[in-house]
Structures are given as C-alpha cells and as structure tokens.
C-alpha cells in the first residue's frame, strides 16, 4: 500500500512538472469542442481496437503485452497526429480509461495512476522533443517510452501492490521487452496509417 501511495506521489510530481512547464511556456491546453469530439472519437476507437485482442491473444500468458500494445499504440498515435498539441495524449488515454470503466469495468481509482502515468510520460516526452509525432524517430521514441513505463509500472507496482501478484524479474523483463517492441511497431503503424487520414482531413473536405 505504501508503494502504491508512493506511485501516486510520483504521478502527482510528474503532473506538477508538466503543468509548470506548460504554464511557463504559456501553453496550458485549451481544447475546442471539435478537438474534444475528435478526442472522444479516439477514446471509442481505442476501446474497439483493443477488444479483439483483449479477449483473444492478449489473454495468453507470456505474449499478452506484445499483442495488446500494437493496436493500442497505433490508434493512440493516430489521434495525437490529428491533434498535435500538449494535452491530447492525456485527454485520449484518460478518456479511454474512464470510458472503459464507465461501461465495462466499473469506476476503479486503483487504475487512475496507471493511465495518468502513461499520459504524463508521453506529454513530457513531446514537450522535451518539441515534436508531436512529426517524424518516425520521434514516434519510435514515444513508443519505446510508453512500453517501458506502462509495463514496468504494471509489473513492479500494480501487480504486487494492488493485486498481490508477484512475478520473477526475468518474466518482467520479457514482458517489458515485448511491450516496448509492440509499442514501437504500433507507433510506426500509427504514423503510416495517419498519413492518408491527415491528407483526407486537409484536402478531402472533411
């Protein structure tokens, strides 16, 4: 429980750092209704994109991280490419988490730090690089960071301190490596798929 509270403090500190940077750069996120509706669309898309994997390959032990992170990262990154600015990652990741909790898994605050951490890490990365998935290198870096943070947090904090389940270090390493690989593949897929979508948005009269 103490480590869970520790992780809450970590997330709060990350959030405070993020807010401070945005405040000093006068870039505190403000979303128009259109941005909010687009983010809402991506929250639903994330829910749908991972459904087949949630009940299929991702339930198979040892390979779940890999198969789960590909569609998730691809869809998330398309959303970020469509609204390339601070706050989008948080809006989509936390919105999807709330959506999934509202309609299927029940409101559970124990999962909130997980979603917030995944969002804040990406936001800080984008702020540090000054690039919102504008290049393949940036997308691969973001995918790597997402996989590393999310799976390490899950296997080192969530699993032992929330679900009281323990995993051997080699297993955590295997899962994290798979999560990183899956997220990087998802990132490149997202970047590849977002090109025709952005073209359609710009020139297709959407």
Partner 1 sequence: MKYLDRETFLHHLDPRAKIVLGLLGAVMIVALRTPFGLFLLFAMLLGAFGLLRPARGTVRTTAVLMATALCFTMISQGFFYGLEPRTAILTIVAPDSGLLGRITGGIAIYREGLLYGALQSLRLFSAMLLSAVIVMSTYPSDLLLGMERLGVPGRIGFLVTVSIRFLPALIDEANRILLAQKLRGLDLKGVRGGFRACRYLLPPLIIDSLRNARRIALAAEVRAFTGKKTLVRELSFSLRDWLVLGFSTTGMVLLVMFQGAFS
Q: Which of 13, 104, 128, 137 binds partner 1 (CB under 8 A)?
A: 104
Q: Which of 58, 65, 73, 75 binds partner 1 (CB under 8 A)?
A: 75
CA-based R_g, the chain, Å? 17
Asked if 153 contacts 161 with a C-beta cutoff of 8 angstroms, the reply is no
Q: Can you tell me the distance from the alpha carbon of 125 to that of 188, in angstroms, rounded to the nearest whole number?
A: 17
Q: Give the binding range for partner 1 (CB under 8 A) out of 19-27, 97-105, 113-121, 123-131.
A: 97-105
Q: Which of 14, 99, 156, 181 binds partner 1 (CB under 8 A)?
A: 99
Helix (H) or strand (E) holding 96: helix 88-100
203 binds partner 1 (CB under 8 A): no
Q: Which of 2, 24, 26, 33 binds partner 1 (CB under 8 A)?
A: 33
Measured N-to-C along each axis, helices 88-100 and 33-54 cross at an angle, to the nearest 10 degrees, of 50
Asked if 47 contacts 96 with a C-beta cutoff of 8 angstroms, the reply is yes
SS3 61: coil
135 binds partner 1 (CB under 8 A): no
Q: Can you tell me the distance from the alpha carbon of 115 to that of 161, in angstroms, rounded to the nearest whole number?
A: 16
Asked if 93 contacts 50 with a C-beta cutoff of 8 angstroms, the reply is no
Structure tokens at 58: 């991702």
103 binds partner 1 (CB under 8 A): yes
* Residue placing its CB nearer to partner 1 in the complex, 78 or 180: 78
- Pattern 136-175, binding to partner 1, x per CB under 8 A? -------------------------xxxxxxxx-xx----
* Residue placing its CB nearer to partner 1 in the complex, 33 or 130: 33
Cβ atoms within 10 Å of 59's Cβ, excluding its own: 12
SS3 83: coil
* Residue placing its CB nearer to partner 1 in the complex, 101 or 129: 101
Contact footprint for partner 1 (CB under 8 A): 1, 4, 31-34, 36-41, 43-45, 47-49, 52, 57, 59, 61, 70-71, 74-75, 78, 82, 91, 94-96, 98-99, 101-110, 161-168, 170-171, 189, 193, 196-197, 200-201, 204, 206
């Amino acid at each position: 429980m103490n480590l869970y509270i520790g992780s809450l403090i970590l997330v709060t500190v990350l959030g405070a750092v993020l807010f401070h940077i945005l405040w000093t750069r006068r870039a505190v996120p403000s979303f128009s209704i259109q941005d909010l509706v687009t983010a809402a669309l991506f929250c639903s898309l994330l829910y749908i994109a991972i459904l087949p994997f949630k009940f299929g390959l991702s339930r198979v032990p040892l390979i779940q991280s890999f198969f789960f992170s590909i569609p998730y990262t691809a869809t998330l990154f398309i959303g970020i490419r469509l609204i390339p600015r601070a706050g989008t990652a948080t809006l989509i990741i936390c919105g999807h988490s709330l959506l999934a909790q509202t309609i299927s898994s029940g409101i559970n605050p124990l999962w909130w730090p997980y979603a917030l951490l995944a969002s804040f890490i990406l936001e800080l990365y984008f702020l540090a690089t000054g690039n919102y998935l504008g290049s393949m290198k940036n997308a691969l870096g973001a995918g790597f960071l997402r996989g590393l943070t999310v799976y390490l947090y899950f296997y080192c904090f969530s699993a032992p301190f929330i679900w009281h389940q323990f995993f051997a270090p080699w297993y955590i390493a295997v899962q994290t490596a798979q999560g990183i690989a899956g997220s990087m593949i998802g990132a490149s897929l997202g970047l590849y798929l977002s090109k025709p979508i952005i073209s359609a948005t710009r020139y297709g009269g959407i």
